[in-house]
Chain A
Amino acid sequence: MAIKLLLEKAHVQGIRTYEVYRREGGYTALEKALKEMSPEAIVEELKKSGMRGRGGAGFPTGMKWSFIAKPEGVPRHLVCNADESEPGTFKDRYLMEFLPHLLIEGLIISSFALGSNATYIYIRGEYAWIPDILEEAIREAKAAGFLGKNILGTGFDCEIYVQRGAGAYICGEETALIESLEGKRGNPRIKPPFPAIKGVWDRPTVVNNVETLAALVPIIKMGGEEYAKIGVGRSTGTKLISACGNLNKPGVYEIDMTISVEEFIYSDEYCGGIPNGKRLKACIPGGSSVPILPANLLLKTAKGETRYMNYESLSDGGFATGSMMGSGGFIVLDEDQCVVKHTLTLARFYRHESCGQCSPCREGTGWMEKILKNIETGKGKMSDIDLLWDIQRRIEGNTICPLGDAAAWPVAAAIRHFRDEFEWHITNPQEAQIRNFGLAHYADPIHVPVTA
């Protein structure tokens, strides 16, 4: 049985309420942190744990926290990024919906460590029912004396505010989130200055993902070194994976990053295989922005080693033959799915969500969508594939924020691994309207040349 740190108590009846959460050992980490540890010690513990940010980029959180500027007399802020809008990712929603107090506890510990007296939860507008749950949890925590003035007699004041977004994917980017939080149009800022120097209202700010902040609770409870023992290599601790697509048991799973991708998809403990006896065609292992992988490269790396569900193994081979852990939105496609249509869906999403600030992303995403639509509806040309490649190449890395990269990568990976399917759509436009390309050779074992 795998170790569960975050979701251990998720199925306890009434865990959403303060009484049950407290009875199940809640807020003990907070008491430990505030009474026995200094803010520096918490950051030190976090560094020892080696936890990497769970929002997608995988940057070590302890390192990020140590960058925050501490000028005299300027308030600092912690912002919880709950604007989880990546297609395929729904782990934060699950956490906030079922374990709101876990997030609140993590937030208070983090606020204490960073010295933030006003902490914000920026939640996406589409999660319309969750702010109520969070605000109820905040109210309960306040009544119990864990929020407000002079928490637990330590002299530390903290307030948590819930701010609802208005439904823009781009507001999940930290600087766009900050702009939106300030009440402006959610356009990403140009970095530098980074939020750690100038964030909300030009004050030093740390923006962290919901899961990252919730993971503070087990880290403080068990200590950073113990936490670092879970998992492998630089992928420490547990990670929530939201699995969806053609799976028997889609849902949110907590894994300790030692299991293989094959086990995750096929074992009964996790996703339970693919329904109706279909075969695996492709998978996006970390939310819509990361490169898609065909079945053979997903289960085994290009070197023929087993691929595991952790940061290093999933990105083994770079973008040529690997992908990324991302935010943990695990999307599985079976043999009946069409990669071209799938890529079009993603391109349409990014076109719709591009903020329109910098030209490559604004114009390029729309262009890619139109070309993909042509290919999908049987009007494509062979040259369109190379054109798509050229467009994505010129968007990637040339934009202000990572949305440009996120829009370019899925298209690039689809062409890189599924070029023959694109070509089939172009050479068989009529047939492509009524049936799918199918599995072809994507699940075949990788050919490894042998020397004499």
Chain B
Amino acid sequence: MSEQQLFKVTIDNITIEVPAGTSILEAARKIGGEVAPPAMCFYSKLKGSGGKCRTCLVEVSKGSEKDPRPMPKLVASCRTTVMDGMEVKNITSPKVVDARAGVVEFLLLNHPLDCPICDQAGECHLQDLSYEHGKEGTRYEFQRRKFKKHDLGPYIQLHMTRCIMCFRCVYTADQLTENRVHGVLDRGDHAEIATFIEKSLDNDFIGNVIDVCPVGALTDKTFRFKNRVWFLKPMDAHRDCPKCSGKVTLWNRGEEVFRVTARKDEWGEVEDWICNECRFEKKHSSDWVIEGPREISRHSVISQGHYVHTVTPTETFLAVNDGRAPHLLLDIHTESDVNKPEIELSLINGPAHSNNFNSK
């Protein structure tokens, strides 16, 4: 019996066969599209994650072929394994839609909604979730929870106010590094992710907590406030790295590399973990072998630049004008000190400021 047992499961009236032991969420992801429940805390590459955010709740209307009773409560699809003949209702169940709207409201309750100044905007799972399943207003009339910003070493900034307590970063540190120095302090709505005494996270792979964070609570200090992600051009690239796979996505503007992240799949999960050196230190195109532009879902705001398969038109001015350069009425660089072409924006620490262009 080397053949793996296949279970037939019906999700939103679409039947699929999956190996035994698959979770409902993973089965739904195989079908794809709207049928896949959103997941804020589940991460298929992290063992033990999931079950906490409750956004992936689904209704099981038929337990299995053997025991057709429905499950009494909505279940977390990321942590419930499929049974043969199981019937699951996701978006076809009003109960699920209502519960999910409730969960979105709860998640946004203490979230600052500071998307306009948040680096995660554009690639934020909470943003996607609330656009898709949330309501336009909140019924919360109280002050939101606030925390001080924490510096976790030279590369990572923790902004606890935005955190939704998905525990992914804790699992990442547990499973990727030898020694976890951060965790959850306190409990309930005053719980926070923290190092016990303000301490830096210092580990070769700790940068991955930035990638797993579904919101902007953990951000890359080498990229903070440098650019909006949708102005950048993601490029697949690789290098020979002794520590990790070296397969990354470079986020370019022109030829400048603004940041380096791991490659993320369509569910926002990284394909390969990358090390801190690749992520934070190799910020020049010359460090990398560029493979080509990365496919980004056309629904994502990141793909708004339509950089894939675009052909830049050749400049015809010189040819038409007998090789003479155009006469400019005004060259901005002779008039103003800002935006000097010789200053690389990606190398400025923090957001660009007029002081950065002062030649004196």
- Whether A and B are associated in the same complex: the answer reads yes
Are A400 and B106 in contact (CB-based, < 8 A)? no
Decide if A331 is an interface residue (CB 8 Å cutoff).
no
* Distance of A356 Cα from B74 Cα, bound (Å): 20
On whether the beta carbons of B188 and A356 are closer than 8 Å, the reply is yes
Q: Does A307 contact B (CB under 8 A)?
A: no
The verdict on B257 contacting chain A, using a C-beta distance below 8 Å, is no
Contact B79 A351 (CB under 8 A): no
With both chains docked as a complex, state the minimum distance between the C-beta of A180 and any C-beta of chain B, in angstroms. 12
**Is residue B64 within 8 Å, beta carbon to beta carbon, of the partner chain?**
no
List CB contacts (< 8 Å) of A390-405 with chain B. 394, 397-400
Number of A-B contacts (CB under 8 A): 89
Which one of B47-55, B331-339, B341-349 is at the interface?
B47-55
Total interface residues on A, CB under 8 Å, equals 27
Residues of chain A within 8 A (CB-CB) of B98 are 394
Judged by a CB distance under 8 angstroms, whether A150 is at the interface is no
Tell me which residues across on chain A come within 8 A of B183, comparing CB atoms: 185
Interface string of A12-50 (1 = CB under 8 A from B): 000000000000000000000000000000000000000
Contact at B53–A359, with CB atoms within 8 Å?
yes
A320 and B52 CA atoms in complex are apart in Å by 30
* List of A residues within 8 angstroms of B53 by Cβ: 358-359
B79 lies within 8 A of A355 (CB)? no
Q: Mark A331-372, 1 if CB is under 8 A from B, else 0.
A: 000000000000000000001111111111011111100100
Q: Does A3 contact B (CB under 8 A)?
A: no
CA of A168 to CA of B103, assembled, Å:
25
Contact: A359 with B107, CB < 8 Å? yes
- Quick check: B54 and A360 within 8 Å, CB to CB? yes
Beyond A362-B165, A394-B106, whether A354 also contacts B188 by CB under 8 A is yes
- Binding site secondary structure of chain A: helix
Bound CA span A395–B186, Å: 21
**Inside 8 A of B195's CB, which chain A residues have their CB?**
none
Given the known inter-chain contacts A360-B103, A398-B99, A400-B51, please indicate yes or no for A190 contacting B79, CB distance below 8 A: yes
Tell me the minimal C-beta distance from A33 to chain B in angstroms: 35
Q: Does B70 contact A (CB under 8 A)?
A: no
Q: Are B54 and A367 in contact, with the CB atoms below 8 A?
A: no
Cβ B51 vs Cβ A356 within 8 A: no
Pairwise interchain contact A363-B187, C-beta atoms closer than 8 A: no
A residues near B, CB below 8 A?
A: 168, 170, 185, 190, 351-360, 362-367, 370, 387, 394, 397-400
Known: A362-B165, A367-B142. 13 other contacts (CB 8 A): A190-B76, A356-B187, A358-B53, A359-B53, A359-B165, A360-B54, A363-B109, A363-B110, A387-B139, A394-B98, A394-B102, A398-B74, A398-B99
Q: Can you identify 19 A-B contacts, CB atoms within 8 angstroms?
A: A168-B187, A190-B79, A351-B189, A354-B187, A354-B189, A355-B191, A356-B165, A359-B103, A359-B107, A360-B103, A362-B191, A363-B109, A363-B110, A366-B188, A366-B189, A398-B57, A398-B73, A398-B74, A400-B51
